[in-house]
Amino acid sequence: MAGFPADDGDPVDVLRELLGAAGARPLTEPPLWPSDVADDATPVEFSVAFDESGDRAVRILGETIPQNPGHAANIHAAKRFLTHMAQRFDLRLDRFQAVEDLFLTERPQGKFALWFSVILRPGRAPALKVYFNPQVRGEHAAPGLVAEGLRRLGLSDAYETVTEHALLRGAADRFSFFALDLDDGPLSRVKLYVSHDSAESGTVERAAGAVAGVNPLLVREFLTAAGGGTGPYAGRPLISSYSFVEADAGRPGNYSLYLPIRDYVPDDAAARERVLAHFARAGLPAAELDRAIAAVTDRPMAAGVGLIAHVSLRLGRFGTGTTVYLSSEAYAVAAPRTRVGAAASL
């Protein structure tokens, strides 16, 4: 994999195990399972985190798919993958085990039950994050599941913090992910994600205000550069996330805003230009974005839309930076659009 020594087999081995039976399936055959990880049902998405400190990380979001997939079978396959990774890399599973009965039901609702993010840095063992679906028992149950999950993890005060800043518009704001870092470091995080339907910049500026020291105007500048305006964003929703650690249970250390840029551009050439506009403001090198894109595809950027799926802004004391999310487009390339679900000022 790009950026890793040729003799480092961990990234490829982990990716192979993460994908399960789907990874060995020829691309000439249809997907085993309609995974929601990517728009074309590919159960994997790549991303590159560009920290303002100069650090970089490659991340792989994936869903483990067994040979005979189904809601319950997918959960069992994912847990087998997790058990093996924990044994191989000495991962911490106590927090996962504390909440798994809340989120892993035999009859899950929604588009997924358990996803993984593998974080790769040269010279280090892979790190792992798990994503649960708060909607897994139905939309009505999500607030209670999140509140109980936080209570079990010693973070009861976090629930009120998030609801006071990010869940202010009734059904238009909803919990979308509940995630855990699987390590025992002092900054091992519990992350909460909130989706904001048809949100304007003011909605996510208020959400960012939950994190001490964060300037909400940076959120507006990010949306103006990468999104093309202040909203409303009426296509795929903007998503806020908060990072909590046990040592400071009620106060998030970081806020991130995720922009599903593919819904707000006609093609990936436009998406690239938008991301580069943000990179210029943030002092990030354009060449590194192009290197990441070239590692995934050689198709012309104007020939499709969705390769650059998301771009996110990360703010707070745990580190500031930008992450760009790239679809493998293994099964399909979405055609360019003549019209987009644009923000108001586009």
Task: Examine residue 25 and state whether it is found in any structural domain, yes or no.
Answer: no
Please give the full DSSP string across 4-55, using - where no structure is assigned. S-TT--HHHHHHHHHHBGGGGS-TTSPPSS--SSSTTS-SEEEEEEEETTS-
- Residue 189 CA to residue 301 CA, distance in Å, equals 35
Q: How far apart are CA 344 and CA 230, in angstroms?
A: 7
Domain span holding position 195: 35-327
Q: What is the pLDDT of residue 345?
A: 43
| Residue 271 forms part of a structural domain | yes
Residue 12 has pLDDT above 90, yes or no: no
The answer to whether 36 touches 176, Cβ cutoff 8 Å, is no
- Is 7 inside a domain boundary? no
Q: What percent of the chain has pLDDT over 70?
A: 95
Flag whether pLDDT at 149 surpasses 70: yes
Residue 195 lies in a domain: yes
Judged against a pLDDT cut of 80, whether residue 119 lies above it is answered with yes
How many structural domains are present in the chain?
Answer: 1
Say what the pLDDT of residue 9 is.
63
Q: DSSP 3-state assignment of 3?
A: coil
Report if residue 3 sits inside a domain.
no
Tens-digit pLDDT profile for residues 28-42: 999 999 999 999 999
Res 140 pLDDT > 80:
yes
Residue 277 belongs to a domain: yes
Report how far residue 69's alpha carbon sits from residue 61's, in angstroms, rounded to the nearest whole number.
18
In a domain, 274, yes or no: yes
Residues 295-320: pLDDT tens digits? 999 999 999 999 999 999 999 998 89
How do residues 249-266 score in pLDDT, each as one tens digit? 779 999 999 999 999 999
Alpha helices in 59-174 (DSSP H): 71-89, 94-103, 142-152, 156-166
344 has pLDDT over 50: no
Q: For residue 334, is it within any domain? A: no
Whose CA is closest to 260, among 231, 281, 296, 300? 231
